[in-house]
Amino acid sequence: MATVEISNLKKSYGAVAVMHGVDVPIKDGEFVILVGPSGCGKSTLLRMIAGLESVTSGEISIDGRRVNELEPKDRDIAMVFQNYALYPQMTVAQNMGFALELAGRPKAEIKAEVDKAAEILSLTQLLDRKPAQLSGGQRQRVAMGRAIVRHPKVFLFDEPLSNLDAKLRVKMRAEIKALHQRLKSTIVYVTHDQIEAMTMADKIVVMNGGRVEQIGSPLELYDHPNNLFVATFMGSPAMNILPAKVTETGISVAGLTLLPGNPDAPVGTEISYGIRPDDIVIGGEGAVPVEVQVVEPTGAETHITGLLAGIEITIVSKERLSVRPGEILMVGLASTRSHVFEKASGRRIPTEPNF
Amino acid sequence: MSKTRPSLRPSLQGYVLLGPALIVYLLFAVYPMIDVIRMSFSSWNGLSPQAKFVGIANYRAILTQDPVFWGALWNTLIWTSAAVIIPNLIAFGVALALNQNIPGRSGLRIVFYLPVIIASIAVATIWKWMYDPFFGLFNGLLTSWGLTGLIMDWLGDKTVALWSVFVAHVWQSVGFSMVLFLAGLQSVSTTLIEAARIDGAGRWGVFRYVTLPALVPTITVVFVLSLINSLKAFDIVYGMTGGGPAQSTQMLAMWAYTQSMQLGVFGRGAAVSVVLLLITLIVVIPYMRWMFKREDMGR
């Protein structure tokens, strides 16, 4: 168990800079998820922590010790890979005990550690199998077992659930979370799936284009996104972003409706108004017309995609709406949980809703 | 508008497509193989219209009376054991080196592969010139370095002739195994190497626990291919020494050829061929069984 401190970390391949000064503090025992679209640098960052990629400048320290120059094996970390990376010629038990064997630990101790980890991950029945004889979920558990037996200071997970089917992914998500609660270990976990991030993390680091966009707890990011990128990346379906303007009395959205609000920007400023699909209400006072295009009933809720003055908008309703494509649906866009952003920079504008 | 025509059943379609290749194979591989067995039990000079059945007389002759047969068998065995190990070890080393990210490696790959595409008889000619005792490259170099004591008649001295030919064979065959090893090395998972590095494996550990296990199928293929290739060694020996001096480079395949085509005793030549065939089958059958077993086991 340990802290991880990443400060002003930069990475370039030749003249191409891919990471532009990243700072991430990670507390002891924290479950931190790096999330972002592909190419955002999250995997590179994880691989730099692991020591599989060199550091161009900046510092990574684990448990207060600078590790920039250390070999992966000397960093006291363990890593779980997306494609499991199990040794095909070894049994499950040999795979799990391999690191300890390389470290020259006595056989009895290795066996005890492997048995203990197998117990935790319910792999005891499979210890004599070869990886080829296991299912995807079982292989992923073996990969985790291989990490557990080492009692590393930090666990690194690189998109570990991406190769599993949807149902198994939900199950493994719960298993990894339970494992974290049991081991109380520091975990750095990379995923492109914001739902994975929301459901598992203590702390989420949203990355984009080699920069950190925002760091915070899942609900902090969901409720108070710092900018348009975080606002639209976290949450599914994504937050609606509508063109708006600051007026003397409030916010004019899409030229259709005047919402109360007092953004910290001069009157006349063009802004973006963000509202989550489930914060939009059906009907009510000051409702605006949406031309329905697609209706998707999921059972628990209804997703509607439509056009508001030519702009695409998504609405999620708990009710079973019986609207059909082509019909007009009246919706209210006022919400205490809406956000306004600067149009050019995408930065959040502090606002006091006057409701 | 074209109508959909009823197409052939898949199994029939398969046989139709296999047909031409099958005919050629039966005619030029299977039939001669069976016929050589028939011929090994008969006496025929290659000209007379009738061959005479002689039972096992040909085999008795080559095994008990032929002074060259045992030497040729011995040479074939030595040649084969050396050819299975030495060029492949060199090829493996070269492949490991060329798998590193070094400048100019694609050019170097071509250089090492080049000898493979040269006809064996041309290779034989090149090396025969280089080995020439008076005008050849090797003795020339030794002279200019002042090592005149090492000068030899490379192909004319029966103590070194076989090994001189073997060196040419090594030069020619390294490239082929190297390409197979390189292909095998490309298939080694980089994530697995990374996982091993995190697990604490050094260079040797990664090689021992990741690279080598991943190369087992390649190593087996290379081993068997070079085994078969060296058992039938013929053209390079034929081109460089013709089996001499004093039969010191005689091989089974060449002895079969010499008996039949030059001495006109087809029955004995066939018997030598059958012996070679048996040796080859002893080697190949376990390999084929192993291959099929692996395929069944594969996912």
Can you tell me which residue has the tokens 């598992």? A200
Q: Is residue B203 part of a domain?
A: yes
CB–CB of B233/B75 below 8 Å?
no
Whether residue A281 is predicted with pLDDT greater than 70 in this model: the reply is yes
Residue-level pLDDT at A240: 94
User: For A205-250, what is each residue's pLDDT tens digit?
Assistant: 999 999 999 999 999 999 999 999 999 999 889 999 999 998 888 8
Residues of chain B with C-beta less than 8 angstroms from the C-beta of A79: 194-195, 198
CB–CB of A223/A55 below 8 Å?
no
Residue-level pLDDT at B95: 93
Q: Which string of DSSP letters, residue by residue, matches B10-56?
A: HHHHHHHHHHHHHHHHIIIIIHHHHHHHHHHTEE--SSSS--EE-TT
Considering only CA atoms, which of B169, B152, B130 is closest in space to residue B251? B169
Q: What is the CATH number of the domain that holds B99?
A: 1.10.3720.10
**Of B191, B201, B214, which is closest to A81 when you measure between CB atoms?**
B191
CA B123 to chain centre: 15
Query: What ranges in B187-265 are assigned the alpha helix state H?
Result: 190-199, 203-206, 212-231, 235-240, 252-257
Separation of alpha carbons B274 and B258, rounded Å: 15
C-alpha distances in Å from residue A229, one per residue of A8, A145, A216, A225, A334? 21, 36, 14, 8, 22
Q: Are the beta carbons of A81 and B199 separated by less than 8 Å?
A: no
Q: Is residue B1 part of a domain?
A: no
Q: What is the DSSP letter of A131?
A: G
CB–CB of B58/B41 below 8 Å?
yes
**Of A72, A88, A102, which is closest to B213 when you measure between CB atoms?**
A88
Residue-level pLDDT at A355: 44
Q: Is residue B292 part of a domain?
A: yes
Averaged over successive runs of 10 residues, the pLDDT of chain B (299 residues) comes to 69 89 93 90 82 83 86 91 93 92 88 90 90 84 83 81 90 92 91 92 91 89 88 85 82 88 86 91 83 63
Higher per-residue confidence, B134 vs A325? A325
Q: Output the average pLDDT for chain A.
A: 91
Long-range own/partner contacts, residues A162-166 (CB < 8 A, 24 or more apart): A162/A82, A162/A191, A162/A192, A162/A193, A163/A82, A163/A83, A163/A84, A163/A136, A164/A136, A164/A137, A164/A140, A165/A136
Q: What is the DSSP letter of B65?
A: I
Q: Is residue B30 part of a domain?
A: no
Question: Lowest-pLDDT range, A25-39, A212-226, A306-320, B240-254?
Answer: B240-254
Shortest CA gap B208–chain A (Å): 12
Spell out the residues 6+ positions from residue B21 whose beta carbon is closer than 8 angstroms to its own.
none
For B222, the domain range is 43-297
Residue-level pLDDT at B176: 93
Residue-level pLDDT at A239: 94
Separation of alpha carbons A168 and A165, rounded Å: 6
Q: Which helix (H) or strand (E) holds A47?
A: helix A42-50
Please give the order of strands across the beta sheet that includes A302-308. Answer: A281-282, A328-332, A288-297, A302-308, A311-317
Percent of chain A surpassing pLDDT 90:
70
Classify residue A331 as exposed, middle or buried by CB count within 10 Å of its CB (0-12, 13-18, 19+): buried
Separation of alpha carbons A269 and A251, rounded Å: 10
Separation of alpha carbons B231 and B168, rounded Å: 16
Q: At what angle do helices B212-231 and B161-186 cross, to 10 degrees?
A: 150
User: For A86-124, what is each residue's pLDDT tens digit?
Assistant: 999 999 999 999 999 999 999 999 999 999 999 988 899
Nearest CA in chain A to B209: A87
Q: Is residue B73 part of a domain?
A: yes
What is the value of ipTM here, to two decimals?
0.83
**Average confidence (pLDDT) over A56-79:** 92
Q: Is residue B234 part of a domain?
A: yes
Q: Are the beta carbons of A79 and B201 separated by less than 8 Å?
A: no
Q: Are the beta carbons of A87 and B299 separated by less than 8 Å?
A: no
Residue-level pLDDT at A20: 93
Q: What is the DSSP letter of A209?
A: T
Q: At what angle do helices B266-297 and B212-231 cross, to 10 degrees?
A: 170
Can you tell me which residue has the tokens 């270990």? A185
Residue-level pLDDT at B65: 86
Separation of alpha carbons A193 and A202, rounded Å: 15
Residue-level pLDDT at B45: 79
Q: Is the peptide bond before B286 cis (omega within 30 degrees of 0)?
A: no
Classify residue B159 as exposed, middle or buried by CB count within 10 Å of its CB (0-12, 13-18, 19+): exposed
Considering only CA atoms, which of A254, A262, A229, A250 is closest in space to residue A349? A262
**Of A73, A87, A89, which is closest to B197 when you measure between CB atoms?**
A73
Separation of alpha carbons A67 and A9, rounded Å: 13
Q: Are the beta carbons of B299 and A132 separated by less than 8 Å?
A: yes
Q: What's the total number of domains in chain B?
A: 1
Q: Which helix (H) or strand (E) holds A223?
A: helix A218-223
Domains of chain A, CATH where assigned = 4-229 (3.40.50.300), 237-342 (2.40.50.140)
Q: Are the beta carbons of B213 and A146 separated by less than 8 Å?
A: no
Shortest CA gap A27–chain B (Å): 22
Q: What is the DSSP letter of A276?
A: -
Q: Is residue B155 part of a domain?
A: yes
Q: Is residue B163 part of a domain?
A: yes
Residues of chain A with C-beta less than 8 angstroms from the C-beta of B189: 83, 85
Q: Is the peptide bond before B245 cis (omega within 30 degrees of 0)?
A: yes
Q: Which string of DSSP letters, residue by residue, matches B133-201?
A: TTT-HHHHHHHHTT-GGG---TTT-TTTHHHHHHHHHHHHHHHHHHHHHHHHHHTS-HHHHHHHHHHT-
